Amino acid sequence: MLIVMKPQATEGDIRGVCEKIEALGYRAHPMPGAQRTAIGITGNQGALEAAEFESLAGVAEAIRVSKPYKLVSREVKNEDSLIRVGTGENAVTIGGRELTVIAGPCAIESREQAFAAAERVRRAGARLFRGGAFKPRTSPYSFQGLGKAGLEILAEVRREFGLAIVTETIDPENCDLVEQYADVLQIGARNMQNFSLLKRAGRSSKPVLLKRGMSATLEEFLMAAEYILSEGNYHVILCERGVRTFADHTRNTLDLSVIPAVKRLSHLPIIVDPSHGTGQRDKVTPLARAAVAVGADGLMIEVHPQPERALSDGCQSLYPDQFEALMEQVSAIAAVVGRTTAKSLPIFD
């Protein structure tokens, strides 16, 4: 159920409604909007009585939410969510007019590699840096990431290049460590329904980038995000990264139709990862253009200073020059769909 407050409702009115909800044993999710505040209720078994809330001070109406997902739904919050990432000079807003570009290597391999990548993606206009310190790999014998040493390098990258850091967390305990370093916690496709991790991320103060599972329906994707919001963290960015089909000309099949589908149902921003979505370097830029054209809020791109020597996902990583060309092209598309990009910000001055 959603309690919509009157425009003139006071802080006290809002607090009163939340206290009433919690006294009944449920959870209150106040969501301030431009015009007025709404308060989502979760934790109830079965339907609630609207009348019980509509008589409280400051309440405009109590609305039943028809979808299985509640807090992620446009029924509960109609305006697009803006997710603020980083602080001070590194601060970026995701979901607004500016197209978000996250770029960097699949895995952090060394300080040199990370710095070389960061310098180039920053110069080309990326505002966020990606790089895995903890890598979930299909084989137990593959490179699993540098771990804490990788996180330290990422912290240096942030300081040195003014890039906000997006990096993956792989289990609840690991989240304790990663959230000390990351500006955005990434949850990978294989963990989209790792509900323990989703709940833990839901108790973090850091925004969460949630990748769609390889065979997740739209409803399952939104329900996974709902797990995070239901624990109190409303700062979730969705990410389409391709789904698994019979098609064998790409590693996954990038499902760009999910972008307008999400936009219709949810207020959360959604970005696209054409690197994993195609698995092939020469397909990344065309699909990045398409992602911006379809209406995505941003892109996540793998860039490596020497892709042929990468310890993971080399064949889908762009050369820095290719990333620069990509930024040129997506900036032009972005302009057509009413978005801006920070294609080329001055650094070191």
Binding to its own copies in span 51-90, by CB under 8 A = 68-70
115, amino acid identity: F
Near its own copies by CB under 8 A: residue from 31, 261, 325, 342: 261
276 binds its own copies (CB under 8 A): no
Pick the piece of the chain touching its own copies (CB under 8 A) from 8-16, 75-83, 158-166, 214-222: 214-222
For position 94 contacting its own copies by CB under 8 A, the verdict is no
**96: contact with its own copies by CB under 8 A:** no
3-state secondary structure the chain: CEEEECCCCCHHHHHHHHHHHHHCCCEEEEEECCCCEEEEEECCCCCCCCHHHHCCCCEEEEECCCCCCCCCECCCCCCCCCEEECCHHHCEEECCCECEEEEECCECCCHHHHHHHHHHHHHHCCCEEECECCCCCCCCCCCCCCCHHHHHHHHHHHHHHCCEEEEECCCHHHHHHHCCCCCEEEECHHHCCCHHHHHHHHCCCCCEEEECCCCCCHHHHHHHHHHHHHCCCCCEEEEECCECCCCCCCCCECCCCHHHHHHHHECCCEEECHHHHHCCHHHHHHHHHHHHHHCCCEEEEEECCCHHHCCCCHHHCECHHHHHHHHHHHHHHHHHCCCECCCCCCCCC
| 23, 89, 336, 346: which one binds its own copies (CB under 8 A) | 336
x-marked contacts with its own copies along 221-240 as a string, rule CB under 8 A: --x--xx--x----------
Of 16, 30, 147, 295, the one binding its own copies (CB under 8 A) is 295
User: For residues 7 and 260, which CB has a smaller minimum distance to its own copies in the complex?
Assistant: 260
Query: Nearest approach, Cβ of 274 to its own copies (angstroms)?
Result: 9
Q: Which of 1, 99, 118, 254 binds its own copies (CB under 8 A)?
A: 254
Q: Is 177 in the site for its own copies (CB under 8 A)?
A: no
Select the residue interacting with its own copies from 3, 201, 238, 291 (CB under 8 A). 291
> Among all chains, which residue has been given the structure tokens 């997710």?
83
* Identified binder of its own copies from the candidate list 171, 306, 319, 342, rule CB under 8 A: 171
CB of 340 to its own copies, least distance (A): 15
Q: Is there binding between residue 40 and its own copies (CB under 8 A)? A: no
One-letter amino acid for residue 301 of the chain: I
Nearer to its own copies, 30 or 172 (CB): 172
Q: Examine residue 253 and tell whether it contacts its own copies (CB under 8 A).
A: yes
**Of the residues 40, 105, 277, 305, which one makes contact with its own copies according to CB under 8 A:** 277
Q: How far is the CB of 73 from its own copies (least distance, A)?
A: 13
Q: Looking at 191, 204, 266, 317, which residue binds its own copies (CB under 8 A)? A: 191
